[in-house]
Amino acid sequence: MANKRNEYPDWVEKHRKKGVTIRKTKYGYGLYKCTSIYVKGKKNPKSVQEFLGMVYEDKGFVPKSEKKNTGSLSMSSTV
């Protein structure tokens, strides 16, 4: 059985590299880093996918935003 590779627009395909996959979402195209890890006792390796960001036709590649600590849970005591 041959591998089936989805066809995406050229402006999306230029972001594809080795170890990176593209997925169509309802907001655009998502870029994911894909790798696999060995799990002892399992027959097959486990697939690991990490979201890198979105690709848009007008903006290009937009990396995911990092979560920032808002500091609402402070550990200081005022007793």
Q: What is the pLDDT of residues 24-39, one digit of tens each?
A: 988 889 999 999 999 9
User: Is residue 52 in a domain?
Assistant: yes
**Which of 4, 17, 15 is CA-nearest to residue 57?**
15
User: Is residue 44 in a domain?
Assistant: yes
Q: What is the pLDDT of residue 73?
A: 53
CB neighbours of residue 14 within 10 Å:
12
CB neighbours of residue 29 within 10 Å:
20
Cβ-contact 58, 15 below 8 angstroms: no
Structural domain including 24 reads: 10-56
User: Is residue 43 in a domain?
Assistant: yes
Q: What is the pLDDT of residue 1?
A: 54
Cβ-contact 12, 54 below 8 angstroms: no
Cβ-contact 55, 28 below 8 angstroms: yes
